[in-house]
Amino acid sequence: MLIKRSPNGIDLPFSSEITPREMYESRRNFMKQVAVGAAALGGMHEAFAQNGPKLAATLNPAFSAMDKHTAYKDATTYNNYYEFGTDKSEPAIYAGSLKTRPWTVSIEGEVKKPMTLDLDALLKLAPLEERVYRLRCVEGWSMVIPWIGYSFSEIIKKVEPTGNAKYVEFVTLADKKQMPGVGSRVLQWPYTEGLRIDEANHPLALLTFGMYGDVLPNQNGAPVRMVLPWKYGFKSAKSIVKIRFVKDQPRTSWNLSAPNEYGFYSNVNPDVDHPRWSQASERRIGEDGFLARKRKTLMFNGYADVAPLYAGMDLKKFY
């Protein structure tokens, strides 16, 4: 868990205090369900594998990491999704309350063709691809996941940004009725993230609808999210409801919460430590537990194709 510190150096309360009380008090009972839930998820995935894909996509070999895939049960039970709790196990426990249909995403701002699309229209906007991406968390752990989606550049082409569009802002769902973590003091809601428009237009930036051949599980950002494999995981906004093309750099949730720890760019950079820990190495989830030897963190998480986006920039200043 990431612990926010106030500007005067006094720590904010621990999880029992920043998590809604009813959720915290019931946590011990729900924790007993985690092992059962993980087994059920694994069983569901095995059944899916036998019955065939539910979200048809063509594998794109140009965007396929060669690393061993993270096990489905690990990828779906060890998550950061603070709308459903701050512990890694809580999203899988609580995200069942999220209703992903009907779902619409509005695309607005500095564009010639603003539009509001439902989920089916979004799915049909461009051919779906499967891409195997590494995703690294700022906390020092990583996974390798086969995602399903298409380049966000397809959206950019459809809406035709004006010359004033310099950034893209992503706004996510914030519904207290469905998301028990919304309203806690850990972040400002709704969760927002942003990219420079050339970053959003890079082929690696994936508007994502599925993983492991199936639709996204709720705890992994259903029904639509971003995946940006060269940035830390928190940049990949989940459960998106609004996409805004804007002139000025948008204020993003983690940067608002702790600007000395989370910059706007948040590229994976082993040479820029988090104020409270090193970013030089990482732990791959599923590799022999917490005692496994850590991997060396790669610049841009190993996706060197994005380096030209930052030519001439001081990546320690623009962290």
- Is 236 labeled as ligand-binding? yes
Q: What whole-number distance in Å separates Cα of residue 180 and Cα of residue 12? A: 20
pLDDT class of 66 with cuts at 50, 70, 90: confident
Q: Identify which has the larger pLDDT, 18 or 117.
A: 117
Residue 138 and residue 269 in contact, taking contact as beta carbons nearer than 8 Å: no
303 is in an annotated binding site: no
Residue 253 in marked binding region: no
At 294 the pLDDT is 87
Cβ–Cβ < 8 Å for 231, 299? no
Q: HEC string of 297-315? A: CCHHHHCHHHHHHHCCCCC
Check whether 82 is labelled as a binding-site residue: yes
Environment class of residue 53 by beta-carbon count within 10 Å: exposed (0-12), middle (13-18) or buried (19+)?
middle
> Over 60: is that where the pLDDT of 47 sits?
no
Helix (H, G, I), strand (E, B) or coil at 216: coil
The predicted model gives 284-308 an average pLDDT of 88
264-287 burial code (b ≥16 CB/10 A, e <16): bbbbbbbebebeeeebeebbbbbe
Specify the DSSP class assigned to residue 151.
Answer: E
pLDDT exceeds 90 at position 9: no
Q: How confident is the model at residue 288 (pLDDT cuts 50, 70, 90)?
A: low
Sign of CA dihedral 257, 83, 103, 218: positive
Q: Tell me if 220 is assigned to a ligand binding site.
A: yes
Task: Count Cβ atoms within 10 A of the Cβ of residue 81 and give its class: 0-12 exposed, 13-18 middle, 19 or more buried.
Answer: buried
Known binder of ligand: residue 26? no
**Is 169's pLDDT higher than 60?**
yes
pLDDT at 92 over 50: yes
The response to whether 76 counts as a known ligand-binding position is no
- Domains of the chain (ranges; CATH) run 15-310 (3.90.420.10)
DSSP SS3 for 29: helix
pLDDT at 100 exceeding the cut of 70: yes
**Residue 232 labelled as part of a binding site:** no
At residue 50, does pLDDT exceed 60? Answer: no
Burial class (CB in 10 A: 0-12, 13-18, 19+), 51: exposed
Residue type, position 168, single letter = V
The proportion of the chain whose per-residue pLDDT surpasses 90, expressed as a percent, equals 79
What amino acid is encoded at 272 in this protein? V
